[in-house]
Amino acid sequence: MNFCSACGATVNLRIPQGDTALRHVCDACGEIHYQNPKLVVGAVAVWGERVLLCRRAIEPRHGKWTLPAGFMENKETTAEAAARETREEACAEIAIDAPFSMINIPHISQVHLFYRARLLRPEFAAGAESLDVALFDEADIPWEALAFRSVSLTLQHFFDDRRAAQFGFHSADLDISAPLTGNGT
Amino acid sequence: MNFCSACGATVNLRIPQGDTALRHVCDACGEIHYQNPKLVVGAVAVWGERVLLCRRAIEPRHGKWTLPAGFMENKETTAEAAARETREEACAEIAIDAPFSMINIPHISQVHLFYRARLLRPEFAAGAESLDVALFDEADIPWEALAFRSVSLTLQHFFDDRRAAQFGFHSADLDISAPLTGNGT
């Protein structure tokens, strides 16, 4: 960030009075430009026993499989974000069941949130950001070709909970020092 | 947003190619300036049976009582944010137990997340953003003087779950059309 988005003056990086962190501050108009973590929201959407996965047509992790998910937009709820992303990436309509996992990835300032959900109909197709979309039985999940650790962790919890016939809410923090798959998310 | 924070040129509000939403786009340098919801994270921190509340020294809702909470910062986890906000607003140290409530407030593009937590010691004081900090028994909670609906909803769930001796994870959406307390958050 170099310029103030409000007035166009050059911004300075300093700790504002009464604050404890460095911020981009505009000394021309007084605006403080805060930067905050982003929510990435998605769904573990099932049809019967099988889970819907998308093969990514975009970077990062082009060609790898993922749960439908993406950046939450202003003015929507987390459940609406999960349904929208599933619609955009997998051309599928879902009913949301419950929040299922929340995974912090502090080194990239993201929080990933996944819902449990059900496909309303067994109809899906590759959206613009997907190369392919398919339903997978647990035994066929391409664990080595999953795009993100938040996705593999969520799927592991999902199958564990389903076996135990008791779905919980799972939270975890991913550490950059932990073994990476791909770009660490 | 009027100017590109990267190059200082005037931004235009339009739908970028391949997108579906209006964005602030810089046609000089190509930057797309996305705006996303913010996470507000806090804690239901107890000492024995009593819950820690802060009386706000800042707007909105100056003078009203709230759970310690605030905007999550980059490079921290949600649990770290809850502990930091409790330290800043109540000068108190906590141990985090588990995520407890997640409340969407789409009309202001915020998601509020509260953890269950325990004070490490019965020591607290008003931080810079608080007029007063105190521990409350359930019977003494100032329900009519709480700052935000996300706080009253979280406290209701907390006492209900504690009576049932079974803490869950609760999610809800606050609707601007619902009866407001204060500014609707």
Q: Does A179 fall in a domain?
A: no
Q: How far is residue A45's CA from residue A167's CA, in Å, rounded to a whole number?
A: 14
Residue B18 CB: number of other CB atoms within 10 A?
Answer: 7
Interface TM-score (ipTM) > 0.85: yes
**CA nearest neighbour of B150 among B8, B40, B15:** B40
Among chain B residues, the shortest Cα distance to A99 is held by B171
**CA nearest neighbour of A38 among A87, A3, A67, A81:** A81
Where are any strands of DSSP class E within A4-161? 12-14, 23-25, 32-33, 38-47, 50-56, 65-66, 69-71, 94-105, 110-119, 130-136
Place of tokens 């950046």: A71
Q: Does B111 fall in a domain?
A: yes
Q: Tens digit of pLDDT per residue, chain B (185 long)?
A: 999 999 999 999 999 998 889 999 999 999 999 999 999 999 999 999 999 999 999 999 999 999 999 999 999 999 999 999 999 999 999 999 999 999 999 999 999 999 999 999 999 999 999 999 999 999 999 999 999 999 999 999 999 999 999 999 999 999 866 554 444 44
Contact A99 B171 (CB under 8 A): yes
**Chain A interface residues facing chain B, Cβ-Cβ under 8 Å?**
1-8, 10-11, 18, 20-21, 24, 33-39, 71-80, 88, 98-99, 102, 104, 106-107, 109, 111, 128, 168-169, 171, 173
Cα B115 to the center of its chain, rounded Å: 11
Average pLDDT of chain A? 94
Looking at the predicted structure, is the pLDDT value of residue A42 above 70? yes
- If asked whether residues B19 and B64 sit together in one domain, one would say no
- If asked whether residues A15 and A80 sit together in one domain, one would say no
- If asked whether residues A111 and A143 sit together in one domain, one would say yes
- If asked whether residues B84 and B97 sit together in one domain, one would say yes
* Residue A177: pLDDT band with limits 50, 70, 90: low
CATH number of the domain within which A12 lies = 2.20.70.10
Domain that residue A28 falls in: 1-35
* pLDDT score at A175: 85
Task: Tell me how close the Cα of B183 comes to any Cα of chain A, in angstroms.
Answer: 16
Q: Chain B contacts of A37, Cβ < 8 Å? A: 39, 72-74, 76
Pairing verdict, β B38-47 and B50-56: antiparallel
Q: Look up the pTM and report it.
A: 0.94
Q: Does A180 fall in a domain?
A: no
Residue A53 CB: number of other CB atoms within 10 A?
Answer: 27
- If asked whether residues A83 and A110 sit together in one domain, one would say yes
Q: Does B74 fall in a domain?
A: yes
What one-letter code names the amino acid at B142? P
Count of the separate structural domains present in chain A: 2
- If asked whether residues A99 and A20 sit together in one domain, one would say no
- If asked whether residues A79 and A4 sit together in one domain, one would say no
Q: Does A184 fall in a domain?
A: no
Q: Does B184 fall in a domain?
A: no
- If asked whether residues A72 and A154 sit together in one domain, one would say yes
CATH number of the domain within which B70 lies = 3.90.79.10
Q: Does B180 fall in a domain?
A: no
- If asked whether residues B22 and B77 sit together in one domain, one would say no
Pick from A8, A39, A106: CB nearest B76: A106
- The distance in angstroms from the start CA to the end CA of chain A is 24
Q: Chain A contacts of B3, Cβ < 8 Å? A: 3-8
Task: Tell me how close the Cα of A61 comes to any Cα of chain B, in angstroms.
Answer: 19
Residue A10 DSSP code: B
B141: left (phi over 0), alpha (psi -120 to 50) or beta: beta
Looking at the predicted structure, is the pLDDT value of residue A32 above 80? yes
Q: How far is residue A119's CA from residue A47's CA, in Å, rounded to a whole number?
A: 6
Pick from A11, A39, A128: CB nearest B37: A39
Q: Does A146 fall in a domain?
A: yes
- If asked whether residues A138 and A80 sit together in one domain, one would say yes
Pick from B2, B7, B77: CB nearest A104: B77
**CA nearest neighbour of B181 among B153, B141, B139:** B153
DSSP A164-176: HT----EEEE--T
Q: Which of B1, B3, B20 would you mutate first to test chain A, the one with the most A CBs within 10 A?
A: B3
- If asked whether residues A81 and A164 sit together in one domain, one would say yes
- If asked whether residues B103 and B147 sit together in one domain, one would say yes
